[in-house]
Amino acid sequence: MKNIEVLPYDPNWPKQYESEAQKIKKALADDFVEIYHIGSTAVPGLAAKPKIDIIAEVENLNFDHKNLLNLNYEYRGGFNLPLRKSFTYRSVNLSVNLHVFEQNDPEIELNLLFRNYLRKNEAEKNLYAKLKYALIEDEASHTKNSSMYRGYTLGKQELIQNILEKSGFNRLRFVICTHYTEWDAAKKYRNKYFVSPNNIEDSYTWTFDHEDHKHFILYKGIEIIGYAHIQLCPKSRAAVRFIIIDGAKRRQGNGRQFMQLIEKWLKLQGYNSIHTKSSDEALKFYEQIGYVCIPFNDPDGYKYRDDDIAIAKVLKQI
């Protein structure tokens, strides 16, 4: 990986966006809803990495992206945002990061609020630029290995969160655990609601770095209010290992929406069903969102309580 480069604002960046936006709109055809210039190159006067960040809003994430590939965009997955499809374009004269979201996804509003806040607040814009330069000069992150980009990105998290709070962003969004604050929250929830009450050790911390285990965080605005651990199993099945909404945020529909987001992501990934074994207290919650009693032969031999009830939800008919 090359060293990160932050450059003074270039007035050609909006022109590059406009040119590329027209190509993307045409490539998306009937799936297209709207397109936006986001990120630092969309803020006049702000120093930035010379990469044009673009959000394309589509009707459905199952859109046909072959025309984007024909434009030499490379599909990159979603990284830490499960309901995003990311593409990159790289040439000698142009670098583009294209983020495709479904219509009305909260990540669209988040990015636009952040961009617009920096456009209107000179002091915050200058503070953000100063932080960027400090991060790339920091010896710990200015390396040529794969951790450099993470160090640069994660180092901006606190300032970004502060700006989002000031901008009024308050929607529910879910992410895959990435930042250390998210991992700290995951550990806190596991300890508070599982380890301590049962007076046991958490024997599943090894899953924090395993491709078949996904750890999700639910945000309300910038506040972490929930956590889920989902295992990806053979035969296109998934298993709920842990899901919790914290304290006062319960009984407000947050758990239901969290599960719906997870199920939506699983369907996009090709999973046919999601399984768990529920306590009697949680059974009503699952029944209300469409889970029914279906036997579950757990591939890990996960130990449930004797009175737990095997339930599941069919996501896609085979």
CATH of the domain at 45: 3.30.460.10
What is residue 273's three-state secondary structure? Answer: strand
159 & 205 share domain: no
194 & 260 share domain: yes
Choose the final residue of a domain: 99, 132, 167.
Answer: 167
CATH number for the domain spanning 286: value is 3.40.630.30
176 & 303 share domain: yes
Average pLDDT score over residue span 214-224? 97
The answer, yes or no, to whether residue 2 has pLDDT greater than 70, is: no
Domain encompassing residue 23: 12-167
> For the segment 156-186, what is each residue's pLDDT rounded down to a tens digit?
888 999 999 999 999 999 999 999 999 999 9
**H helix or E strand, kind and range, residue 19:** helix 12-28
Choice among 15-19, 85-89, 244-248 with the minimum mean pLDDT: 244-248
Is residue 2 one of the residues assigned to a domain?
Answer: no
Give burial (CB, 10 Å; 0-12/13-18/19+) of 206.
exposed
Predicted local confidence at residue 54, as pLDDT:
98
Instruction: Grade residue 138 by pLDDT with cuts at 50, 70 and 90.
Output: confident
Is residue 7 one of the residues assigned to a domain?
Answer: no
Is residue 152 one of the residues assigned to a domain?
Answer: yes
122 & 180 share domain: no
296 & 178 share domain: yes
Average pLDDT score over residue span 141-149? 46
124 & 204 share domain: no
Amino acid at 117: Y
Choice among 56-65, 245-254, 301-310 with the minimum mean pLDDT: 301-310
Question: Could you please report the per-residue DSSP string of 131-199?
Answer: HHHHHHH-TTT-SSSTHHHHHHHHHTHHHHHHHHHHHT---EEEEES-SHHHHHHHHHHHIIIIIHHHT
Is residue 3 one of the residues assigned to a domain?
Answer: no
179 & 153 share domain: no
What is residue 253's three-state secondary structure? Answer: coil
- Please state, in angstroms and rounded to a whole number, the distance separating the CA atoms of residues 156 and 159: 6
Is residue 1 one of the residues assigned to a domain?
Answer: no
Strand partners, 293: 311
> How far from 233 is each of 64, 147, 268, 270, CA to CA, in Å?
27, 29, 15, 12
Is residue 4 one of the residues assigned to a domain?
Answer: no
Is residue 65 one of the residues assigned to a domain?
Answer: yes
Choose the final residue of a domain: 142, 167, 192.
Answer: 167
- Please state, in angstroms and rounded to a whole number, the distance separating the CA atoms of residues 12 and 95: 13
Predicted local confidence at residue 143, as pLDDT:
47
Predicted local confidence at residue 149, as pLDDT:
52
294 & 202 share domain: yes
106 & 88 share domain: yes
Average pLDDT score over residue span 280-291? 94
Choose the final residue of a domain: 135, 167, 199.
Answer: 167
Q: At what angle do helices 106-120 and 157-167 cross, to 10 degrees?
A: 90
The answer, yes or no, to whether residue 144 has pLDDT greater than 60, is: no
155 & 200 share domain: no
152 & 205 share domain: no
User: How many domains does one find in the chain?
Assistant: 2
274 & 259 share domain: yes
